[in-house]
Structure 1
Amino acid sequence: MKRKFFGTDGIRGLTNTEPMTAQTALRIGQAAGRHFLRGDHRHRVVIGKDTRLSGYMMESALVAGFTSVGMDVVMVGPMPTPAVAMLTTSMRADLGVMISASHNPFDDNGIKLFGPDGYKLSDKDEAAIERRLGEDAKLAKPDLIGRAKRIDDARGRYVHHAKATFPERLRLDGLKVVIDCANGAAYHVAPDALWELGADVIPLGVGPDGTNINDDCGSTKPLLLQETVVASGADVGLALDGDADRIVVVDEKGQIVDGDQMMALIALDYQKRERLKGSVVATVMSNLGLERRLEASGIGLLRTQVGDRYVLEAMREQGCNVGGEQSGHIILSDYSTTGDGLVAGLQVLAALVDSGKPASEVLRQFEPLPQLLKNVRFSGGEPLENDGVKQRIAAAERELEGKGRLLIRKSGTEPLIRVMAEGDDEALVERVVDDICAAVQSAA
């Protein structure tokens, strides 16, 4: 079955354009609610959202959909995606919903669904919900219509959860931390958690107005964070994205630290404390320098296709507790069932405090190899099946053998061929990427 609604991370699109309309949100609530009406207990769904203007509309439509099929709704307001996953399990809910388009602009929105175990839904569950979207909804009898309730203490519950992941023997006293919340879901929880642990907090992106989420702030646009860290003499800076499942760190010099460096730091810290389980799991995009750094310490690296859901699947299958993406989705399965920017940031700060050294010395665990990614647009056909392209790729692989690696993949959403190479020789990396791109363009 070809999926019409669900992508790699839930349902997402431009607000008031299908599928991000109130009408479709209501139907999604009905379909997902019916799918999770299992057993004879009173059923419950937890709904959270980020700070987009359209969140009110989507929340109301989803509440109508869920209650109409007999499911009770608990609304927690603006909360990070990992908080919704955590609350779904702690409240014994049958389903969790996060209304967010993550790092996208405010005029987009999305719907992410979590099962009763707090994990994102499987392909099987998403396919079942899609089938129900094509059917007439089976509505509850009048006396069985669900009830809706808004709870006010969800914020405190998540702050407590996040703080509990920070080692009890440590405090953040004397550490000046800049935190950029992207005017998003973590604006009222991340600064509080840091302050309660003793940090001197300088908050950014904590004035959401419905339209300024991710607007020149947050993990995808960290320039303001970099400037503020340097200007204020802060020890470190943290930047979250709109739904706070992603993080970027900045050292005291204003230099960006990506997810690869964070995974190395956390994994090595866990290894030292005998807490690391299995290998680290990352995607095919993670730098070869990460792999070499971990290998030098006897830690394996498992690679998956791009997407945090694939990282998590591999972590669950292999029993690993550290994984993530170069972009800053860090999954620490001892604490979370999904990426959690604040929890990952606290692990980074714990390692920093424990070392007693400046962030610029601690956060750079390896020297990244030169890495180059280029996209080639094509008009039709299958350029990767062209003999000339195949020959050029094979030649590049021979040139990089033992000195780097090559990754060629077709985009799943656009007519693009993505060509990535990395290696010790920057000039060689640039040349093989350009040669393959030229071959693809000729074939297209």
Structure 2
Amino acid sequence: CGSEARSRTACAACGSAACAYCEACLAMGRSRACSLLLHGAAGSAVRGTAGGSPTAALGRWGLSAAQSAAAGAALRFLAEPPAGGSAGPARFLIWAVTGAGKTEMIFPLLQSILDAGGRVLVAAPRRDVVLELAPRLSKAFPAETVVTLYGGSPDRWKRGSITLATTHQLLRFKRAFDLVVIDEIDAFPYHNDPMLDYAAKGACKIGGKYIYLSATPPTPLQREAAAGRLPHAKVPARFHGHPLPVPQKLKILTVNRCLQEKKLPPLLVRSLSASLSRGAQVFLFVSRIKHIAPILELLRKAIANMPIEGTSSIDSERTSKVMAFRNREIRLLVTTTILERGVTVPKSDVFIMDADSELFDEAALIQMAGRAGRSKDDPAGRVVFAAPQWTRSQSSAVRQIKAMNRIARKGGYLRSVQELSNSRGFPE
């Protein structure tokens, strides 16, 4: 796993009173100095097949113009010969706004490597994401064997041309894949974990390629991309061609003050009621789990006859509540950053209380805001930063959202005013 830290204990297997073992990867099983560790050798990495004609490779996937441009750039990257003397796998960043359709964009990249006889790995941060992606990959590549790996997976000893795994499972591989795709590189547990970064790079063959996917790349990667040291492509628009909703300011008291006064600010109640009245599903994010129950109580008093619930990472009923929220059985859901990713609910508005909290950095604010406007039936959505003060993180989040909208408009990826008017049913 790359860790150099060792612990020593008495070992019944070898009889030593100080047999070394690794604590960093203990969750994957104890690795002792006296135990056998096997790894096999893989062949040379293959190059993508579609570098000279990416248009032909993209045709079957039905991508938008913005998706096609990014996927085409990535295909050309895959077709390039490996750089001599490289310290690690060649890297490429796909920086795609929330709701841009990252999964669909990687299909032509996987096809390019598979057509050349290579093996591909797609790593995601959480088991639920892996389980969601598995049927989509199987449907997209019916002729390929898709192996799905996570803690307790029945596919543990299977081998396939496509491997889909949680990031910790990458420790099981050594130079096994021609292409490694890391989804949500800024998300827990991959972000800021040197062991998982080491595992991801180690899973890639010498001369192989390594692709990052993210809506909110970590600052070091953004700097590398800006300086030209990291080849990348931006996908600044969603598939429906509407701009990203720009967060609005709502100056209100902190959550703690609301709880002390035992009431919600009238301005917030009116704004929430307006969203509910227009038929929106409302995410209300708070910074701490302990705030969910008391805020829920105040909401139920302020907004009567409305199904309102709360959920968090410690809620055993979270899955069923999210499903009920999707089905409109719940109309307002109070939650934390546990739902900032991986949850798409049609016709959603987003409110973030204590948006000035130090727990909400730029990336978290962008991800939470990204729950709104994802559906083609309600592409505008509303995003509200509710807080007593305006912070650098809030400013940076708004700046990045506006910047992506400008890039999308300049690239011709946004629909014209006439098209938008017609899509809303307005007369010409």
Under a length normalisation based on structure 2, what TM-score does the superposition of the two structures give?
Answer: 0.28
Structure with larger Rg: 2
Q: TM-score, normalised by structure 1?
A: 0.28
Which gives a bigger RCO, structure 1 or 2 (Cα 8 Å, sep 6+)? 2
